[in-house]
Structures are given as C-alpha cells and as structure tokens.
Structure 1
Amino acid sequence: MTDRAVPKALLATLMGRRQAVPPVWLMRQAGRYLPEYRALRARKGGFLALATDPEAAAEVTLQPIRRFGFDGAILFSDILMVPWALGQDLSFGVGEGPRLAPPLADHALAALRPRPERLEPVYRTVRHVAAALDPATTFLGFAGSPWTVATYMVAGQGSKDHGETRRYAYRDPAGFSDIVDAISDMTVDYLSRQIEAGVEAVQLFDSWAGSLSPEQFERWVIAPNARIVAALKARHPATPVIGFPKGAGAKLPAYARETGVDAVGLDETVDPVWANGTLPVGMPVQGNLDPLALEAGGAALDRGIDRVLAAFPERPLVFNLGHGIGQHTPVEHVERLLARIRG
C-alpha cells in the first residue's frame, strides 16, 4: 500500500505503508563526519561526558536534522549504556575504543551491582529532543541486542572474532544465558523508558550477529531478541521495532520471521534483490547502501542508491546505510544522496 500524504513518512513506512519517496535516515548520522559535532565534542570532552549531558546529547541528535532534514532522528547514545547500568565501569580511551570493567570472562555477573540510575540522563535527552523535533520527523530510540552487548561485557572490549565470548557461550551456556537474560531484562526497561519519554520507534542493533554458527544464532540472537520484542509489544503495542542483525546472511529470513520485529535492517553485504524475494511479504526493510560508496561519492554512490531503490518496487522501504556512516564521509556526498532519492 502506498500513502502519499502521511505526516511522518518514516513512522508510516515502519508500520507497513509504502511511501512514494522512501524516507531516509542514516545510522550514526549524528557524529564525527559533521564539523558541528566535532566542535561540540571538543568543548565537552570525552564521549561519555557528552552522551550523559542531556542538553549536549540532544543537540548532537538534532544537528543532522537541521543540516539535512532527515526523516528520522536517532538518539545520540551508545549500546554500552546497558552494561554500564548493569554495574560495569565504562570508559572510552582516545584511539582505544570502549572498555568495560571488570570483564565477565573472569568475573561473576552476580558480583556486579546494577546502577539503573545511570540511564536517567538518556531519558532526559529523549525528552529534550522530543520537544524540539519537527512534527514530521520520526524519533528513533535504540539499544544493543543481547549477543552484541555480551561480547563487550565478557571480553571487556571489542574484538575481531568475538572468540572469547563464543568460547564462553560453548563452555558455560547456563552462565552465558544468565548474562544474556540480564541484558535482555535491562534492555526491555531501557527501551520502554525511551518510548515513554518520547521516541516513536526503536532499533535493536546486533552488530556482531554474523560471528555465530546457525545453532548459536538461534540461541543467542533470535531467541533473546524475540523475548525483548514480545515484552515491548506487551507494553507498547503501537511502537514499531526495527531489528538489525548485521552479518546474518542466509539466516536473515528466519530472524525476520521468528523475532517479531516490525522491520528488518539489511547490512551492505545483503543482496537487496534476494532480500526482497525471501523476506516475509510486506515486511518493511531498511538499508542498505554500502557506507564506503557514500564516502566515495560520484558514480559509485549513484549506482548504489539506484540499486537499492530498484530492488524494492513494492515493499515498504526506509533508505539507510548497511552500517554506520564513516567519519571521513564528505557532507556534500550526503547532500547528493538526499537529492538523488528525493528527486
């Protein structure tokens, strides 16, 4: 179904109504590629200080909306806010990436003291943004999915193959299940509070879903995400949930069918024509331009845009990237993308 006159084009698309011109937002659209973001972060200091300052975080959320007029604003925060609220210490070293302590590879989950009050600044940020957004712009909240968040909690930092966490899950599935359950419970409350504060749809980021075998994918990706979605739907039945299982590949249709998400995000490795033919009929999709095509610009960018648009002739489409926008992406390339999509 196509609707040419829905005030919130993105929200309508996530609810299954195809738009004549697909709505656009970009993962990590609020961030380091924008000069206004770099200037604000230089004044505020480190990432965590910025993300926990409600006025500053709201400003970062709104910066790309003012500049580009995206159809969706994505909350400026981080997926590691949940482990921080579960009691791990969180830091962002310069050039090192995030660190969580103590790592659960050699410390007990039960030894952590939950600190849910650490999430209060996020809810205040949501309220600031919701009050300032144009009525036509959809406000998106988010959280990390349990598997991806667990990889950081177990190892204490990011890794290339998540081997330490995968070994932990095989060696002690009951213990790892306790970690996943704790993340899931906190995530339901976290997203529910975001919705109550003013977000209109939420996305579950499973950035490292592609590192799992099919059996482990069912257990540590599909099952906990289905549990989160069911709990959110019980509390907020009208709020769309987007699932983004990066690297899922051939497991993507099962994820779409079994988790209960309203829309599914495609990473840049997914053939959009294949996705259109294999995903549930009518399910909205989001994606999946290669972020490096956006960074490259020119003919490569134009071809990438056209390929995504052509792949979904009838399905509700939210145009996005296959992952986050790169910090070296020229602003004028984003402008070109929007001009090409919007004609």
Structure 2
Amino acid sequence: MSQSEKKLLETLKGRIYEHPPVWMMRQAGRHLPEYLELRSRAKDFLDFCYSPSLATEATLQPIRRYGMDGAILFADILLILDAMGRNVRFVAGEGPKVDPAERASDLDKFPIETLLDRMSPVYETVSRVKTQLPSETTLIGFAGAPWTVAVYAIEGKGGTDKSKARLKAYQEPDDLDAMLDILVETTAHYLKAQADAGADALMVFDSWAEGLSENSMERLVVKPTEKLIERVRELGVTQPIIGFPRGSGAMLGRYAEQTGVTGVGLDTALPVNYANEVVPKGMPVQGNLDPLLLIAGGNEMDSRIRQIKAAFKNRPHIFNLGHGVTPQTPIANVERAVRVIRGD
C-alpha cells in the first residue's frame, strides 16, 4: 500500500486487505482529555458543532492520537432539526431535546436554501478538516436517516420506546410519509453539500431502526433510505455511502439489497456469520465489536477482534464498533485494539 492510498476508501470500492482499515464511531469524544478541554471552550454542544474551528479540532484529535484510517466529521444528526426551527438543545444528564413536530408542516417552514445556509458551518468544517488530514485518511461526512430524525422530531427526545412515532405511522400514515419525504429531500442536499466540501465518503445513521415489525421496517427504514440514496445520486454525488440500520436484525439483508448503500454497518447483536450470509457477496461491511470490550480490554477484547477479522477476511471489511466509544473507555485499550486490528 502506498503511503497516500486511502485504505478505507479503497475498501469501500471493494478491495480486501489482510488487516482491515479501522475507525470507531464516537472516536472523537468524552474518553479523550483533549476533547473535554476543547468542549469546555464552547457555551453548549450546538455552539461546539457550529464552530468550525472547534469542530475541526475535534475531528482531527483521534487521528493524531490513534492514526485512524477514517476521520468522521464532528457534528450531530439533529442539526437538520435545529435548522428547521425545532429548538434543539442538549440537557445535561438527559440528552437531546427538541420541540416536537405535530405535523409534517412543522418541518417545512423554511425553504431548503435557508436550511442549507443555516448548516453552512458544517461544510466549512469539512473543508478545513480536508486540508489538514493526512493524505491516507478518509474523511467521512454523515447525516441521520429519515426515520431516526423523524423519531426525534415526533418524540421530542431520544431514549424512548418510539411508541409515539410508531403510532403516528399507523394512525396518520400520510402525514408521517410527508415528514419522511421532507427529511429525504433536505438530507440529500445536506449530504451533497458535505460531499462538495470534500467528504470522501458518507454515512447514514439509522439509530432507531430496532424494534420495528417487518412491514414497518420496510416502510419506515428501507424505503425512505432507498429514496434518500436515489436522491443523493440524482444530485450528482458519487462518493460511497455506508448505511447503519442499528437493530435491523433479520431485515439487514433486505436493507443491504434494496437501499442502494455501498456498505452496511453492523451492530453488536448481529452474528457475524449471519451477516456474511445475508449481506450481498462483495459488499463492504463495517462494525460489530461491542464497545464495552474496549472498556474491558485484555485477552477477551483481543480474541473478539481476531474473530471478527477472520469472519470477514473474504469480503471488504472496515473494522469498527457496533455502537460508539463510551466515555469511560481507557485510551490504552483503544491503542491496543488498533494494534491488534493492524496485526502489529
């Protein structure tokens, strides 16, 4: 491999490596002392996300410390709702809160040009990171999937059983479909803006895909994601797109086959052999390692890393977690994990 070759990007194009490229969801975050110092400079989390100088530094910190093969933009999936006027705020100990959207029209109060302009600090961050990243590091932009963002909009917060959003899907299907369509269009333009600013790859997070019936999964996750990918491609975006339908379970294969994503993220609960069976041959996969193993460390962590590597040795594979790095994760364990992944 040449020094300037983007190993992660090449994997998304179908290349197989003996030692896969690695990055970790939430690799920039509260387990890093340098992040905590940086975070203290912003008045709140939204200010942090909207400050290109701070967000750029947060994106680069795990690259400097660990030499990850991928840098993911430091932002948040709820910035779209904030641009839509839903008063997003992050409450200590409670997580994100938004003013609930009762109707689709609550998400359609501003022209799309206005929404995109409000999120312009994000594109500035992408541009700044791009100029400072090592040439071999892949820059990943991202957005929340339509269903997951809709859940936040309807519920007004995260961490719920999604019953309010799921009931709306049953009781007011036309209005929910209208919500999803608004989010598809806005998100497509948002991802295009990140791609235009320099993102090498894109990722779509469907964090609340779990717990849905087969027909609901098809309607609320698979179809809107398919629409989103189609729209992004219509807008001229050629970068590879990773989809992460967390908790999709037995619907993973259908998601991988139908949505048009380039690769799929695997949550911790998915058996690796099952993923190999249902994800189309040759499609890149990413994820699966339990984030708690990064806390535990030791031989248990090493063993599971090697099991995952072995399971995916015959397909394009990006090593990652099944969810994000937790705040209590020891830095030494992340360093050790990266060494084991790379066969050092």
Does TM-score exceed 0.5, indicating one fold? yes
What residue in structure 2 maps to residue 185 of structure 1? 185
Task: Spell out, residue by residue over 1:183-235, the C-alpha distance to the aligned partner (whole angstroms, 9 max, x if none).
Answer: 11110000000000010100000011012111011111011111111122233
Residue type of the alignment partner of 1:75: L
- TM-aligned CA distance change 1:68 to 1:99, over 3 Å: same
Gaps spanning 5+ residues in structure 2: where?
A: none
131-140 vs 155-164, which deviates more? Answer: 155-164
Question: 1:160 offset after TM fit, Å?
Answer: 2.8
Residue type of the alignment partner of 2:12: L
Q: Does the CA contact (< 8 Å) of 2:25 and 2:324 recur in 1?
A: yes
CA distance in 1, matches of 2:68, 2:159: 32
Residue type of the alignment partner of 2:309: L
Q: Does the CA contact (< 8 Å) of 1:291 and 1:325 recur in 2?
A: yes
What residue in structure 1 maps to residue 308 of structure 2? 308
2:123 maps to 1:109: no
CA distance in 2, matches of 1:312, 1:134: 27
- TM-aligned CA distance change 1:59 to 1:324, over 3 Å: same
CA distance in 1, matches of 2:175, 2:237: 32
1:194-343 equivalent positions in 2, closer than 5 A = 194-342=194-342, 343=344
Task: Spell out, residue by residue over 1:122-163, the C-alpha distance to the aligned partner (whole angstroms, 9 max, x if none).
Answer: 011111101111110000000000111011100111133111
- TM-aligned CA distance change 1:107 to 1:191, over 3 Å: closer
Gaps spanning 5+ residues in structure 1: where?
A: none
Task: Spell out, residue by residue over 1:261-288, the C-alpha distance to the aligned partner (whole angstroms, 9 max, x if none).
Answer: 0000000000111111221010000011
CA distance in 1, matches of 2:151, 2:278: 29
What residue in structure 2 maps to residue 18 of structure 1? 16
- TM-aligned CA distance change 1:181 to 1:314, over 3 Å: same
TM-score computed with the length of structure 1 as normaliser: 0.96
Q: Which residue, out of 13, 30, 48, partners 2:28?
A: 30
Task: Spell out, residue by residue over 1:77-126, the C-alpha distance to the aligned partner (whole angstroms, 9 max, x if none).
Answer: 0000111122211111121211111x124785267445412201101111
CA distance in 2, matches of 1:28, 1:42: 18
TM-score computed with the length of structure 2 as normaliser: 0.95
User: Aligned to 1:242, what secondary structure does the other structure show?
Assistant: strand
CA distance in 2, matches of 1:204, 1:123: 17
CA distance in 2, matches of 1:305, 1:53: 36
CA distance in 1, matches of 2:312, 2:20: 10
Q: CA RMSD in A?
A: 1.5
CA distance in 2, matches of 1:332, 1:141: 27
Residue type of the alignment partner of 1:70: M
What residue in structure 1 maps to residue 131 of structure 2? 131
CA distance in 1, matches of 2:107, 2:244: 29
What residue in structure 2 maps to residue 48 of structure 1? 46
User: Aligned to 2:30, what secondary structure does the other structure show?
Assistant: coil
What residue in structure 1 maps to residue 164 of structure 2? 164
Give the fraction of aligned pairs with identical amino acids, expressed as a percent.
46
CA distance in 1, matches of 2:335, 2:237: 35
Task: Spell out, residue by residue over 1:51-96, the C-alpha distance to the aligned partner (whole angstroms, 9 max, x if none).
Answer: 1000110000000000000000000000001111222111111212
The count of aligned residue pairs is 339
User: Aligned to 1:320, what secondary structure does the other structure show?
Assistant: coil
